[in-house]
Structure 1
């Protein structure tokens, strides 16, 4: 599905034109509980929405649960909504996209989430307006849903938002810790997309641009935010989202989900925890464990390019630079520092961190044994 992209400071005002063009009246507005006002989005769009019927949905948890989606679907259908606006971070985007697509397909939502039924109908027109710079969900055809602490993905071309408005002005008031975690999510997406076995020249071009923007602007965006650094990070997040929309993410994301579910670590931080070590792990690929059909030389060259993009001389230097970046923006880099302290804790991650689709996208085969010994033990 094609998506109309509207990018730049002040572009939230373009929402008025979209509504006028579409001639729809009954809006389902999905926002965060506090970010909607703190980001400035409320002041920006309430005058635009004053002539429309608006159903405002914000009563849901971070990291969308199926119960929240079912609650939103009931409200969506009851009010006969014909247009969706999602304004917020990754959880807002995911829950809006999930409600929109599932409300348009008959049957139990869980059957679609667990891939027991196929999506057949497109949802209503959806406009995605991110207020963080990290999830990239405004650019993707997938959503994340949790059922009993297990992460599932809805994935279909009908899910991608019809419009995305990337207005950096809405990220100016982001707290440091959210800027840091979201920024590392975007960096992880871009790097994972770059080394993914399903990468293309197009996805690598998006990822390459995203990595350069993040490495040049994340520290400033966290410690001394300027309009320029916020604009760069907003663009980088969108580009990283476009990259993973083509290639998908890989092992770091798979491992991250139980770290978030069981230990309460924000998603972007959880993903970044294994990023540096996964780079080293992938660099040791052999003929016996390579998953990328393009061959060992291709993988080695790709990882060397990633090192260069983050300003490193080699893989070990890249590992240190990623770790140092996390420390500089205030993120813990050791599992013991975020509550993963026992062998039992490690086993929780291993048991629940093996999404076959994501792990098998990695250029080097990752097994439970190698995850334990070569990744998690190295960052305890």
Structure 2
């Protein structure tokens, strides 16, 4: 491990040990709360999808409200799960790279950067952050045409449902049809970037994905009528809209995710509660110890002020350290009564406390009162 990595590890350990791990406990509690929130959201989605009917596309109209009319065309219907083949309403989109036809074509271009730290083994943190952000796609273009899901055969000779992608942010079941890496030519500036460990582009990844015509997909969404046509749109509360998986596979996938989220939230929550409880107890004990020391210090100040306010002290009774106050404290175990209370406390706070008279190690001091 390099010296830089050791310093970073030491800094992480010091931050983690702050307040007896209270920061780590709070961070784990945040992660646990996030896991529980995702668990409840995913389990609710699983229950809704499991309870949703999965009729044939030709039977969707029978599930809609019988009183739907032109004045209620935008009225949302039930949540349904249907599976059918993709079919374009009119024209299809032809992929420029592969020549395949589809209803959705997505093309992305992403710069790939090196992970070398440079000759000196370090890099500027700001530059590293900037280069990480540059790993996002440089350009992304999506083209789509209206399409439907058909229930066997070809549209319009069979039952169909129109798929609405409006206001949908769910991932699409696209198929990669083109994947090519273009190398990036090095420049003199690239040489300087390599020396100082700054990330530099080594290639441009060009990808193209499509949703081909005729592919069997599953739609999980709200069914409604729009201008007399049965339509299915996405539900924002659900984790998916269009998928290559069947309804049973979607339910199985969500069940696995709910188990993972449940146990993640349980374990993280238990660990965070343990760490926070330990931190609270430890800091409470430290606070009590600090209060006891403060109380002793206040008592010593009161005793010192009472000593200062007394009559003149004979020379034989003066503290051998300050030569101003009466000897009041005896050291343990030697038993020498040679210091006032304030000086005795100062001696005890030393790293290696010793009696100022016999130089023997001492454990504490006791207050001596006159009869």
Both structures adopt the same fold (TM-score exceeding 0.5): no
Which is strand-richer, 1 or 2? 2
If asked which structure has higher relative contact order (CA below 8 Å, sep 6+), I would say 2
Which has the higher Rg, Structure 1 or Structure 2?
2
Which is helix-richer, 1 or 2? 1
How high is the TM-score relative to the length of structure 1? 0.20
How high is the TM-score relative to the length of structure 2? 0.21
